[in-house]
Amino acid sequence: MDINQYLEIFIEEAQDHLQHLNQNLLELESNPDDNDILNEIFRSAHTLKGMAGTMGFDSMMNLTHNMENILDAVRKGTLSISSGILDVLFECLDFLEDSVNYISETGKENEKSIEPLKKKLLNLMSNSINESDQPQSNDKNMDDFKFNQYDENVITQALAQGMKVYKIEVILSEGCMLKSARAFVVFKTLEKYAEIFKSLPAIEDIEDEKFDRSFKIALITNEDKEKIEKDLKNISEIQDIKIEQYKEIATVQNTSKTEVAATVEVSEDHDESEESHAKKNKVGKTVRVDINRLDNLMNLVSELIIIKTRLEGIDSDSRDQNMSEAVEYLERITTNLHDAVMKVRMVPIERVFNRFPRMVRDLSRELNKEVNLIISGEETELDRTVIDEIGDPLIHLIRNAIDHGIESKSERENSNKDTAGNIYLRAYQDGNSVVIEVEDDGKGINIDKIKKKALDNKLITQSEADGLSDKDATELIFHPGFSTADVISDISGRGVGLDVVKTKIESLGGTVEVESYKGKGSKFIIRLPLTLAIIQALLVTVGSEKYAIPLNSIKEIISIEKDKIRDIQGQEVILYRNSVLPILRLAEKLDVKDYNEDENELTVVVVKKGDKFSGFIVESLIGQQEIVIKSLGKYLAGIKNIAGATILGDGQVALIVDTNSMI
């Protein structure tokens, strides 16, 4: 069997399980006595082990098996959760994550040895008395395998029909790697000629490997005890088989009514807990779809919207009533189809946020700081393409917050703050944009230090530094190569500064702003479009050219008188609503030669970037339209002031103005 066809599924599911393990281990660190979390961790580790074993990745399977031994010892109480145990388990997760990444790149497991980690895990085990190494049920008979009233009725009817009823205890070998898989073979073997009507533990628990080395089953059959024993002993990794037969109905009926009632009650409680557990873990029905298929679907919808726009552009006088109604109906359908496709492509930002708690834990320990990460709005959804790109900028901002923002414990005590610093990671939808905030309650940005660094790096002159406002000075941290770190480290700056963040965000059509309050902390605000594929835009003309300006960046449209424009230090401005509005002539910025500006009254589109505004002078307005963003291709990539292009209804190409790069 070619297992390569399942490789992609394995990688995706393995990454999900590793993420769950990271989250649950962090929760276990805060709540070491929570058995539910411990069971979830055990289940994820067990599933990951089974998946790795099936795919033939032995190192991953062996490491997760050793992790299971530690977790099992914790469940039994022979080991207690400590920072040492958690550190080793986190190291194992890092190894597993590297292994999965290597598999995704090469299709095979890396050759890095797991022996150092196995030694650490074995050392942890040697510090405890591992009671699970001895089969706990060897010295016991099977009297603890109780039957309720329903079971008794089944047994009574079976014996009355001359069939045989057996209680069987199966004890697995000490080195059995996949206990649930071995139990599955036992069940399949017996089901060929017997009916299994009860197991201890429940079948669900056996599947989840929530048992030691032994389990019990009760079955009805016509076969002899010898055949059953022979068939079971032919199965590998089974240490011992114990079979007990019921020969008289009275044997079953001797159970007192009180005992039966108790058994039924316990059984009902168990069912109820199982039901609540199922509800807790209930997930919607989903299907995995290749992102390339979704991209193709989006392209088809885009083409449909272009055709719709073309039909709308047909002169209304030449269209009859039926044609007009059909175009209106098509518009509704395409709008609904676009919304549906967009929802399919939308992914909760939680999948990005989930990787940060572990990172914050490791960095705070490395820097000897206490840091709490408070996450909110993780259910906010973004387009898949944006989700894939936003992770690295957020990692950079959080690293900066821990390294530069949050003070040491002694500094915080001297400032009358809690010794534990807080980083707030928020996400929320604002109109057609998603806002992500990274805020800390640290010392804030040192404006004087920024100015000094900028002067040392000759980014500004002394006179410019003296005239800089605090907000403008703060913006210097986004300058390429700018860093306030005295010593370049691997934690945050690494000598590249925050310009990588700004560049990445703006390449996604977003903006980034910063607010800082000395001694109170700082906040980075990222604003991103919901999607990068289809947007609402305002079409304008400049000379003989048509341009599209994204609607979410437009504040308003105004008319101004030409003679009211003033020149201040080479920048054209106008006084508008008691504030100075910078003016940009799109014809000059975009090098349009045939622009005509004879009229005294000019049309100005006021665009915004955060709290900054600028007015773009255009020749005329065409109107609002839903446009499909098309890439300019690799030969035209990086053209200044242009974010892409769109195809209009009449087949013409209109360039999309990159307002962020102009303001």
DSSP class of 408: P
Q: Which two tokens stand for residue 538?
A: 């305002």
Report the distance separating Cα 355 and Cα 246, nearest Å: 56
Report the distance separating Cα 434 and Cα 428, nearest Å: 6
Identify the H or E element spanning 347.
strand 346-348
Name the residue type at position 226. E
Alpha helices in 234-315 (DSSP H): 249-253, 257-280, 291-312
**Neighbour count for residue 61 (Cβ, 10 Å):** 20
Report the distance separating Cα 481 and Cα 514, nearest Å: 18
Closest C-alpha among 523, 531, 530 to residue 425? 523
* R_g over Cα of the chain: 34
**Neighbour count for residue 164 (Cβ, 10 Å):** 18
Tell me the three state secondary structure of residue 322. Answer: helix
CA distances from 623 to 533, 537, 620 (A): 20, 8, 10
Cβ atoms of 518 and 473 within 8 Å: the answer is no
Report the distance separating Cα 469 and Cα 120, nearest Å: 55
Distance of CA 384 to the CA centre of its chain: 11
Give catalytic residue positions.
46, 68, 400
Report the distance separating Cα 164 and Cα 186, nearest Å: 19
Query: Strands, DSSP E only, in 447-520?
Result: 511-517
Q: Which two tokens stand for residue 450?
A: 């920024």
Helix, strand, coil % in the chain, rounded to nearest 5: 50, 25, 30
Report the distance separating Cα 6 and Cα 3, nearest Å: 5
Q: What are phi and psi of 261, to 5 degrees?
A: -60, -45
Q: How many residues does the chain have?
A: 663
Kindly give the pairing relationship between strand 579-585 and strand 612-618: parallel
Cβ atoms of 582 and 615 within 8 Å: the answer is yes
Residues 6+ away with beta carbon under 8 Å from 587: 542, 543, 595, 597, 617, 619
For the stretch 479-499, what's the b/e string if a residue is b when 16 or more beta carbons lie within 10 angstroms of its beta carbon?
beebbbbeeeeeebbeeebbe
